[in-house]
């Protein structure tokens, strides 16, 4: 697998404090960690760490920060052939201030805004990833490598996103960008808003697979028109900075390895959850061994085992990670739901998420006939969900009858 990542590479400074930031008050910070960052850069770094042949295409300044970031890439195995130098602007910088007490963070971004000029790509990638920060280079690469799987990772709403979406197979939104693009908010106490936001995004980006990362609530996705939410693992959170990039990188890794949708989402969920236990976006990236071990413990041995040659010798597994509690989604009132239709290439409209507490009989009376779905080992009925599982199964919004667990030795989504 060969991956080309296009977008931002910046210097990331992470500081911690026991005080609350207050306007007009000087705050002296002494605890800090400097390393590379940027959305495309972090995704490339994870893929390089996980043994994937990865290229980063970024614009940085002619300064020490750029030199240090390049060394980070080279040390982890990411190729910097397509990194260009801006002589009129310094390398971009992100400053993240983490409150030790409540783990809230304040992020200041000093953007470079310079874009690539050469587009001198002389490789044939299997996957092309863009964070949307360099429209011209991204559209060029997407158009040139039409046989590749193309991913767009959206952290902030930009007008170019709609144009770039016509090239890509999957768009990963964070909650802020998703809500901003469609003009609706998600209220996790009212699951109909969750489905409404997802539906609107699918209508707007009907040619793409859509995933929304929603922080402490996990991620939202759909399979065969069924909206699902996979909650994160319960961790002792230290710093959430970069967790979205870790999620995107791990998901792309899974898709590139033909893991299927739900297994890739599970890998992404495990990786991003683990990353919140440590400071900094790159210093917190777990190893592929850590992620696959937790996954195997939950679902059984992989039928698509990782290439052991790609696992770094210093990979270590933390067996102390505790399984998360189930996170049911509250049920909205369902009034005469319309049956799911299949309109050719159009994605069928998804139905509101059903509460795990509803009985089978009551759900059957209210909901339409379920859409047939290929068996997968990740979906369990609420009645047999284990409170000691490592990664919670996704909550299903359309399927209204208990599903029989499938042999985990065949985890194809």
Q: Domain extents for the chain? A: 2-18+30-310
Q: Which of 291, 258, 254 is nearest to 272 (CA)?
A: 291
Buried residues in 14-37 as b, exposed as e (16+ CB within 10 A)? bbbbeeeeeeeeeeeeeeeeebbb
CB atoms within 10 A of CB 274: 24
| Cα 274 to Cα 318: distance, rounded to the nearest angstrom | 10
Biggest distance spanned by C-alpha atoms of the chain: 68
For the stretch 354-401, pLDDT in tens is 333 333 233 223 333 333 333 333 333 333 333 334 444 444 443 333
Position 103 confidence tier, pLDDT thresholds 50, 70, 90: confident
| Cα 255 to Cα 251: distance, rounded to the nearest angstrom | 6
Q: Running DSSP on this structure, what letter comes out for residue 32?
A: E
* Stated length of the chain: 413
For the stretch 256-299, pLDDT in tens is 999 999 899 999 999 999 999 888 888 889 999 999 999 998 88
For residues 151 and 252, is the Cβ–Cβ distance under 8 A? yes
Look at 112-126, 241-255, 384-398 and tell me which has the smallest mean pLDDT.
384-398
Q: Does domain 2-18+30-310 have CATH number 3.40.1190.20?
A: yes
Q: What number is the average pLDDT over the span 324-339?
A: 35
**Strands (E) located in 50-104:** 53-57, 59-61, 84-86, 93-99
For residues 88 and 112, is the Cβ–Cβ distance under 8 A? no
Q: Please check the confidence at residue 54 and state whether its pLDDT lies above 60.
A: yes
Average pLDDT, the chain: 76
What is this structure's pTM? Answer: 0.73
């Amino acid at each position: 697998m060969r991956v080309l990542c296009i977008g931002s590479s910046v210097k990331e400074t992470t500081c911690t404090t026991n005080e609350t930031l207050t306007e007009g008050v000087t705050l002296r910070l002494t605890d800090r960690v400097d390393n590379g960052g940027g959305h495309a850069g972090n995704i490339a770094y994870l893929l390089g760490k996980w043994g994937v042949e990865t290229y980063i295409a970024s614009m940085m300044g002619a300064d020490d920060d750029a030199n240090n970031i390049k060394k980070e890439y080279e040390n982890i195995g990411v190729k910097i052939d397509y990194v260009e130098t801006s002589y009129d602007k310094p390398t971009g910088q992100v400053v993240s201030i983490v409150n030790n007490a409540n783990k809230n963070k304040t992020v200041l971004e000093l953007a470079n805004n310079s874009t690539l000029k050469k587009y001198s790509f002389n490789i044939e990638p299997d996957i092309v990833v863009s964070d949307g920060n360099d429209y011209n280079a991204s559209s060029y690469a997407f158009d040139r490598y039409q046989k590749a799987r193309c991913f767009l990772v959206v952290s902030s709403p930009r007008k170019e996103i709609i144009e770039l979406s016509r090239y890509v197979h999957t768009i990963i939104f964070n909650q802020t960008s998703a809500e901003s693009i469609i003009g609706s908010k998600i209220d996790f106490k009212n699951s109909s808003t969750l489905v409404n936001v997802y539906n609107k995004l699918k209508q707007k980006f009907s040619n793409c697979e859509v995933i929304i990362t929603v922080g402490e609530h996990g991620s939202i996705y759909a399979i065969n028109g069924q909206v699902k939410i996979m909650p994160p693992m319960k961790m002792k959170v230290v710093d959430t900075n970069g967790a979205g990039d870790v999620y995107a990188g791990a998901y792309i890794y899974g898709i590139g390895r033909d893991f299927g949708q739900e297994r890739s989402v599970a890998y992404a969920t495990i990786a991003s959850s683990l990353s919140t236990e440590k400071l900094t976006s790159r210093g917190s990236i777990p190893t592929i061994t850590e992620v696959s071990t937790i996954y195997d413990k939950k679902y059984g041995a992989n039928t698509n085992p990782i290439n052991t040659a790609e696992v770094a010798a210093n990979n270590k597994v933390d067996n102390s990670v505790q399984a998360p509690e189930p996170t049911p989604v509250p049920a909205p009132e369902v009034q005469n739901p319309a049956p799911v239709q299949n309109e050719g290439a159009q994605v069928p409209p998804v139905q509101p998420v059903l509460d795990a507490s509803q009985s089978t009989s009551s759900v059957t009376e209210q909901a339409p006939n379920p859409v047939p779905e290929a068996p997968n080992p990740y979906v369990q009925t609420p009645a047999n969900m284990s409170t000691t599982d490592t990664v919670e199964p996704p909550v299903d919004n359309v399927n209204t009858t208990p599903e029989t667990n499938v042999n985990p030795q065949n985890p194809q989504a």
